[in-house]
Amino acid sequence: MKTLSNFPYKRVLVLGLAKSGTAAAKLLHDSGKEVRVNDLKADQNDPQVRELTELGIEMITGGHPLSVLEGVELLVKNPGIPYENPIVEEAEKRKIPIYTEVELAGQLVNDSIIGITGSNGKTTTTTLIYEMLHHSGCKTKLAGNIGNVACEVAQNMDEEERMVIELSSFQLMGIDRFKPKVSVLLNLFEAHLDYHHTFENYKQAKANITKNQTEEDYIVYNADDKNIADIAAKSAAVRVPFSKTERMPEGAWCDNRYLYFKQEPIILLKEIALVGSHNLENIMAAVSAAKLSGADNEGIKQVLNTFTGVKHRLQFVSNKNGRLFYNDSKATNILATSRALSSFAQPTILLAGGLDRGNSFSDLIPSLENVKAMIVFGETAEKLAGTALEAGIQAIEYAENVEEAARKAYQLSEKEDVILLSPACASWDQYRTFEERGDMFVKAVHTLE
């Protein structure tokens, strides 16, 4: 099992427990560091607290006293904790370095990492890359939000293995030497501004994925996205672009029949199982990263012939009497919902709503052309109903939750309609996670008769 070597910090505070904090604390402890953990919500009876206490790790729970910084040389924080947190602000004043857990993983296995980031499509692309490498016989491990904690995975990797990891802007803000062998940048638009405050801050956080890359590394990037292209232009890594609109002799592209990598045809477009124009971008990114990392065409084609999507990401749920139900609960912003709607040419009933972050939904209107009805719910129901009226949609229904929305959509539908849950909003007004919201929708669909 790997431990941190040439790591200059002896006394470390881990701020925030959860899975990543627990894994980081264990790695630091295994590496001979003096570790203190501070968590606001945990108490001494929590299993994770008891486990770390038994290892001899100092636990401070139930509050954030500034005394937790006493003697600390490094702060490792949970990515979701904002930089306005009093402990984090005080650490910055004291010039204490602030890492997130992925930095620790990087210090164990930097040259074996394939890192994926972007505003949308990260999970789908990460999964595709992992499956393409796996089906090509490459030893690969999945880490991050859709796998195990990165530093935990890194501890147990051998020299031949690769780590495929989805990376958020929150995680990338807390890196120092982290350096993927292959970085993948999908797209960039305004998101998480409640955390980053400005789009430029958000863009810079995403750009951190390539800041330590050298000419021996690769950056796979969306040449059709100006903000992403700007980041790639400043990277020292070998640039490997992909595009839906232009021929890319150094990367991935398509004509009206084939998807290519460089000059090599990889697969007929009609043989790709995953629907959606936006997913073609994710596929081109995945093919590029997989080919650069040793995948063969047979393994890639096997995945693209059969992969129909990640759960909650434009996931096909059921055909009920000719109505096609799709679960896109992960669509927590307008762009994601717009992309989902562009995947279908047939009449669509859209189920949307959720947490109100104060934004307008006017940017959604151009994507509502094929929407025959909308079922709205949650805090944003009134706003979305107004948007539907502005778009000329006459059939608008209110629902208490996604379960009722599924039933009302079915009642309004006709054969060959698409019934799409793509909320354009976060779930936290009614559900703990977008996964819980999507699971409730799927369960409701399966009860329809």
Amino acid at 8: P
Distances (CA, A) of 131 to 102, 301, 305, 324: 22, 11, 12, 26
pLDDT in tens, the chain (449 residues): 899 999 999 999 999 998 999 999 999 999 999 999 999 888 887 889 999 999 999 999 988 999 999 999 999 999 989 999 999 999 999 999 999 999 999 999 988 999 999 988 898 999 999 999 999 999 999 998 788 999 999 999 998 999 999 999 999 999 999 999 999 999 997 666 667 678 888 899 999 999 999 999 999 999 999 999 999 999 999 999 999 999 999 999 999 999 999 999 999 999 999 877 778 999 999 999 999 999 999 999 999 999 988 788 888 899 999 999 999 999 999 988 998 998 888 999 999 999 998 889 999 999 999 999 999 999 999 999 999 999 999 999 999 999 999 999 999 999 999 999 999 999 999 999 999 999 999 999 999 98
Residues of the chain with CATH 3.40.1190.10: 109-306
C-alpha gyration radius of the chain: 23
Structure tokens belonging to residue 317 = 């749920």
What topology does CATH give the domain 315-446? Protein-Tyrosine Phosphatase; Chain A (3.90.190)
Between vectors from CA 377 to CA 371 and to CA 383, what angle results, nearest 5°? 75
Report which of 435, 226, 440 is spatially closest to residue 331, judged by C-alpha positions. 435
End-to-end, the C-alpha distance of the chain in Å comes to 53
Residues 6 or more apart whose Cβ sits within 8 Å of residue 54 = none
CA atoms of 256 and 268, how far apart (whole Å): 9
**In CATH, which of 3.30.70.3040, 3.40.50.1980, 3.40.50.300, 3.40.1190.10 is domain 109-306?**
3.40.1190.10
Residues of the chain with CATH 3.90.190.20: 315-446
Pairing between β-strand 258-261 and β-strand 264-268 as defined by DSSP bridges? antiparallel
Residues 6 or more apart whose Cβ sits within 8 Å of residue 84 = none
- Asked if CATH classification 3.40.920.10 holds for the domain at 11-99, the reply, yes or no, is no
Which phi-psi region, left, alpha or beta, contains residue 18 (left: φ > 0; alpha: ψ -120 to 50)? left
CA atoms of 80 and 188, how far apart (whole Å): 20
How far is C-alpha 375 from the chain's CA centre?
26
Residues 6 or more apart whose Cβ sits within 8 Å of residue 264 = 297
Residues of the chain with CATH 3.40.50.720: 11-99
CA atoms of 425 and 427, how far apart (whole Å): 6
Structure tokens belonging to residue 124 = 């789908």
CA atoms of 139 and 16, how far apart (whole Å): 32
